[in-house]
Each structure stands twice: as C-alpha cells, then as structure tokens.
Chain A
Amino acid sequence: MKLKSLAAIVALFAFTLLVQAKLTVVATTADLGSIAREIGGDRVEITTLAKPTEDPHFVDPKPSFIIKLNRADALLEGGAELEIGWLTPLLEGARNRKLALGQPGRVICSKGVEMLEVPTVLDRAQGDIHAAGNPHYLTDPANAKIVASNIAAAFAQLDAGSTDFFQANLKRFITQLDTKLAEWQKALAPYQGRRIVAYHNSWPYFAKRFGVKVDLFLEPKPGIPPSPAHLAGVIAKMKADKIGVVFVEPQLSRRTAENVARNTGAAVVEVSHFPGGVKGTEAGYLALMDHIVNSLAKALAAQK
C-alpha cells in the first residue's frame, strides 16, 4: 500500500518533470528575451538579466544572476560587446559547461548581422567605442529577423523534438515583422533625410533602415557625459539646421534632453531599445518598434 502510493508520487513527479521539461533560457537584454519568447512560446522559460530601463553597458553583476546562469540551458547574448563589462565575471562564477563558447547553449545573436561603425582604430581617447562595431543593431527590424533565425536554430538544436514548433513560430514572426516593416517604412517615408538628436549614438541601424539621420548627440563622445559647452554647441546646431526632435531613453538623463528641447523648441520623443523600457511597449519587440516609429512620425509631422 505504502509502496504503491510512493510509486504514484514518483510517477507524478516524473510526469511533472516531463511536462515541465522546458528549456531554461537566460537573455542578457529584454529585446533578445522578447524575440526568444516569440520563437520559444511555452516551450521555453525565459529570464532577462538587464532591466529594460537600465543602461545595458553597466548592469550590476548581482550574485543572483550567477544562479540563473548556473541553471540555464541556453544564454542569449548580443555578441557585440554590449554586455562585456558584466557578463564575463558572471559566467566565470556560473561555471556552466552548457554556456561555454562554442556550445549550442551559447547563442551569439548577432551572428550574420552586418555591423555598422566598426572602428578602424581603437583608441579610448574617443570614448567608449566597441571593437565589434555599434552594438545597438536591433533597432533595425531586418536584423530582428536574423536574430530570430539564430534563436530558432539554437532552440532546435537544444530541443530537437520541438524543431517544427520553433520553425512555425519563426515563420509567423517573420511574416508579422515583414508586414510591420512595410507599415513602418511607409509611416516614415515622408520624412526621408530628416535629422534627429539623440543622447547616445545608439541609432545608426534605425537611421539607415528608415532613411532618417540621427547624427547629433548630447554626449560629446560615446559614454562621456555632456558638458555645458558641448550642449550649447548642439543647441546652436539644432537651431541653425532646424532639427526639431530629440530622442530620450529612460536611462539617459531626461532632464538634459528636456533642457535642450526647451531651448530649441524641439519635441522630446521617448524611446528605448528594450520592450518595457517605455510604458506601453511591454508586449514585445513589435510593440516597441510600433511605438518608436509612430511617436517619431507624429513628432516629425508636427514639426513641418
């Protein structure tokens, strides 16, 4: 009798294990996490390390992240040195063989992405420049397709039984993305060549895709805080060239951007690279891009 109930418990336990045999996946940033959710659906359990509102270059390597990485089947990382300052010590502490470089569980999402602004000379006098190129490549939806394909391929390798499921999700995501991309391009088509000011140089991929120019920055050099003299120069250029939109990201001094906007009559457009970074974009990557494109188009339309 006792043995029977024990066997039942064991069977139940084994069954729950089987049912819950989801892939445990850690994504460094929320954009990768949201694309992974589209592909993995309910067959993966995804945890994101960096908060969508925080500066992804300077995430605190909390000990709790070590535990998450220790127990993960896969790690999705940007692969363009964005996380270089904090991911290495975490991985050293996590001692997880599945996440070693070259293992199927270590997913370098940028694989195959055409990187922009690859430095020809590496000199720290130029500020915080990434040797692999500008790491903010997911602001171009075309790159999201590459990332989604990389993730689908990795998931299929880790859970071969679900290959068809992941492939179907990938197909659906890419179809949605293509439709959306056409919409977004149409929405921004009237504003070709228009200039936008940003705090940090994190929009070259977006600018290239949508034909706008994001080429004036509140930071004098990447990662270097703006000085009053530099800001005065930016304000003068904005007035001279009639630039009417300033991008502001949640983690980058909103006050500075608002001051500049007030001095120039420009509109502040709240954007983020990460779903959830701006209110209303929690649903995922498509919602985020929808928000960026629509609020930019609205601001540019109002500018004349």
Chain B
Amino acid sequence: MKISKMMGWSSALCLSAMSLVAQETNQVEQLKLQIKQLQENFEKQQQIQRQQLEALTRQVETLQRQTAAPAPAGTNAAVVGKLDDWQTRSWRLGDPLRIGNQRSYMDIGLIGTFAVGGSTANDLGSLQSGGHDPSRGGFNMQSLELALSGNVDQLFRANAHLLFPSRSGSVETEGAYLETLSLPGGLQLRAGQFLTEFGRQNAQHPHAWNFVDSSLVNQRMFGGDNMRGLGARVSWLVPTPFYSELFLSVQNNEGETMHSFRNELESGETLFGRSLSFTSSPKSLNQLAYTPRYAVSFDLTDTQTMLLGVSAALGNNSSGADTQSRIYGGDLTWKWKPADHAGGYPFVQWQTEGIFRDYEAGAASGLSAETLKDYGIYSQISYGFTKGWIAGLRWDYVDRTGLATSLGGSNNYDDAERAGRWRLAPNLTWSPSEFSKVRLQYNHDERRGLGTDHTVWLQFEFSLGAHGKHKF
C-alpha cells in the first residue's frame, strides 16, 4: 500500500519535470529518455525496498533469537569490539574513571563500612578500642574509604587511601605513597605515608578484615589506628627458589599512630600512668622507628599454601629522655583451596599472630623507671563453605608479664592498657558478590577486674568503582 503510493508520487514528479524539456527536443528521443529514467527510478526504488525488507527481516530474526534466548542483561550480543585498541582509545562507559590522559590515570574506589549492634558493657568505647571498631550502641560508621591508585609514569605507581573515620571526624590519611614499578635486583622502594609492614593485620585496611573489629593484640601494641606514619620502605625479593621477601620500613616515630613509640597524648590523658608530655627533640636517628620483616611462603601441596613471617619494630618512646620500645612478632597464614573451586569457594584460611613488647618506661611523678613487658596472640580461622558464605572464629588473648607496677605499686587495680583479657568471636559473613557483604558477629569478652561482656554486631559494607585487589 505504502509502496505503491510512493511509486505513484515519484513517477508523477518525474513526469512533470520531463514534460518541460520535451517541447524542445525530439519527442521520440524524449519519450525514450523518459522511459529509461522511469525504469531507473523504479529499479532504484525497488532496490531500496529490497534493502529495507532485508534489514527488517534481519531485525525480526535477531529479535526472535533474543526472545527465545535473551542475551545476558546489559550486554548486546550484536556488539562486537576489538581489543587491540584498548590502550589507545579514549575513555568510554565502563572503563575505570581516569583523570587526565592515558599517561596519568587513576582508579577510584569508595568503600563504606557500617555496623549496628549492642553490648552488655557500659564502657563500649574501651571494650572495642580499635579506631575503626564499632564502638557505640546503635549505628556506627566504621569507615568510609576513598581509594585512589594508578601508575604515575614509567617509574612509579601511587596509592592513596583516605579514611573518613567515625571518631574524630577529620579525614585520616591512612596511606598516600609512591612505589617503584621495577627496580633491578628484585628491589622495590616506597615512600610517603603508609601502614607499617609488621605481621599480617597491621598493614590491612579495615575493609580487608575477616572480622568486624581488629585484633586485641594489634590494638594494644599499635593503637586503635594501626601503626603507620611518614617514611620509606625498601623490600627485596630474595633470590631463593621459594618466595621470600625482606622488608625494612623506616618511619617517623611520633604521633598517635605511633602508639608504642613517641606517642602524643592529649593533655589529661595517660599511658602506663605517664602523661607522655616529654617534648625534647631527640637526635634525628632517634626520631625514627625501624621495622624489619622477613616473610617466606611455600606451596605445601597443590591446594595448600603457607606464609610465615617474623617482624620487629624498634624505636624510641616518649616516656623518657632515651627510652626505647621493642616489639617482636611472628605470624603464620595457611590457606586451602581445592583444585576445582568455583568463585573462590570453598576455602579454609587460618591466620595467627603473636606479638610481644618491651616498653622502657621513664621515671614519672611517683613512678620509677621500669621495663613494661606485654604480649598477646590471636588466632583466626575462616571457612568459606559455599559460594558467598564464610564462617569465622577468632580467639584473642592479651596480657602483661610481671606486676602492674606502672600504677605506683598499687596492684589491686590493673592498668586497663595492660590488664589480661580475652575474646572469643564467632561470625558469619554473607558476600552476595565481591562488592558487598553483610556480617553478623558475637563477641564474648572477659576482662580481668571487669568481668564478662557480650556484644553483637551486624556489619554491612559496599564497594563502588575500582575494587582494591587483595594480596594473598
């Protein structure tokens, strides 16, 4: 119907145009020309129609295919792309957000971690003393982490983790550092602000934890916010047949994130009975904390991997003129993943870490100089029993050796920073995808002198954008 109408119109137009010319030339010639043009016109139209018909048929076929079998949502089976242009082409939807040109791009990720819960303890802030632990009844924002990373140029890569914490309200630079891409001799250099490479837990960001809260021994030795600071780290892949790596971090040893070193307290606060108001500036070498670490790893079998490490952190502390802190630790991680796992499940991971500390405390009002010895251990196991589900159990234990002399010899009251306590924390994590998780955890706490407490947390977490890839 439509076709014949169109044909009619076009022939009418042609005819009227032709008739004007016809008067001046041979009529036969003219008519022949007319016929020829009409013919051409007709054929052209026919060709267009045929093409349209073919296109429509193809479309119908595609649609039929799709209704019979929908392509995975969000993809288009017909869209075909070549991969060889990915380094040179411009940004398009779905690429990581890149700032600047291809030589200076950056991946952006945002991770939010929240928890809601309640406890029998009325001093929840000291029961859960980690800086990113949930620490009040009701809702908590444990952290909102902005992660930025990318290659700076042909030599360096940079990383920044900015944390918006729940307690102080200010932005926390958990890390911001430059790292070499490929130095010869298996070396790697890092400089800037970073979490100290000590053991397993200390260098982990809150969202990488397998539990709602950080371990008690790490809190006691390194403070609520992990040990971190400005400095440099060199690491060396030792040329052994198995994996073995040597790290040495050298960082400024002052500030509240240097808990056991030249810690700075607010006026009125004390640590080990001392106000730590000592401010004289020591020799420059004494302003640094030194953290060596050696880690080795073996594949025990095709499905089992073991990672062992020893670490030390050494430096001056702020309780006296030349008083030192020495922290030593050992850690073990064992992981099993079968050869036919799907989506990373099932798996079993066991991680345990023991740390002890010698803290040379200087003389202070009513307190003589002494060496405070503390230690602690945690052991945790995670069992991913089916895709997206992980059951975990952690046991924490911390204590001091010797008397709590730091409180002027009064032994019937224990320093909360050193008193023995333990925690048993079973949990269950549901991870619908790699980008979200919901976790339920129960903490059974026993504190010497304070008794038993029960706490329940429900944690939820999201991850947007570029996802920080986790190491082993």
Contacts and interface: CB of A to CB of B under 8 A. Distances in A.
Interface of A: 51, 53-55, 57-58, 60-64, 66-67, 70, 79-80, 85-86, 88-89, 92-97, 100-102, 108, 110-124, 126-129, 131-134, 195, 201, 204, 213, 215-216, 221-225, 250-253
Contacts of A101: 87
Given A51-B339, A97-B182, A120-B75, A61 B471 contact: yes
A54 B339 contact: yes
A213 B74 CA distance: 19
Contacts of B434: 85, 128
Interface string B177-192: 0011111101110000
Contact of B95 (A51, A57, A126, A131): A131
B285 interface: no
B181 A129 contact: no
A128 B87 contact: no
Nearest to B298: A64
Contacts of A129: 72, 74-75
In the A-B complex, the 8 residue pairs with the smallest Cβ-Cβ separation, listed nearest first, are: A215-B69, A122-B94, A58-B344, A63-B297, A126-B74, A63-B243, A97-B182, A118-B81
Contact of A93 (B341, B387, B471): B471
Most buried by A among B340, B342, B386, B435: B342
A97 to B, nearest CB: 4
Given A79-B83, A131-B95, A53 B242 contact: no
Nearest to B183: A95
A64 B84 contact: no
Contacts, number: 177
A119 B82 contact: no
B71 interface: yes
Contacts of B84: 108, 111-112
9 contacts: A64-B242, A85-B469, A89-B470, A89-B471, A110-B83, A115-B81, A120-B93, A126-B73, A223-B343
B83 A108 contact: yes
A4 to B, nearest CB: 30
A256 B201 CA distance: 37
Given A112-B84, A118-B75, A58 B182 contact: no
Given A86-B469, A101-B87, A117-B77, A95 B299 contact: no
A96 to B, nearest CB: 6
Interface in B362-410: 386-388
Given A95-B183, A122-B93, A115 B80 contact: yes
Contacts of B299: 62, 64
Contacts of A215: 68-70
Contacts of A252: 342
B237 interface: yes
Contacts of A251: 340-342
A95 B181 contact: yes
Contacts of A134: 75
Nearest to A150: B84
A116 B87 contact: no
Contacts of A57: 343
Contacts of B4: none
B342 A201 contact: no
Interface in B323-344: 335, 337, 339-344
Given A117-B72, A132-B81, 13 more contacts: A60-B344, A60-B472, A89-B469, A95-B180, A101-B87, A113-B83, A114-B80, A118-B76, A118-B81, A119-B94, A121-B94, A122-B93, A134-B75
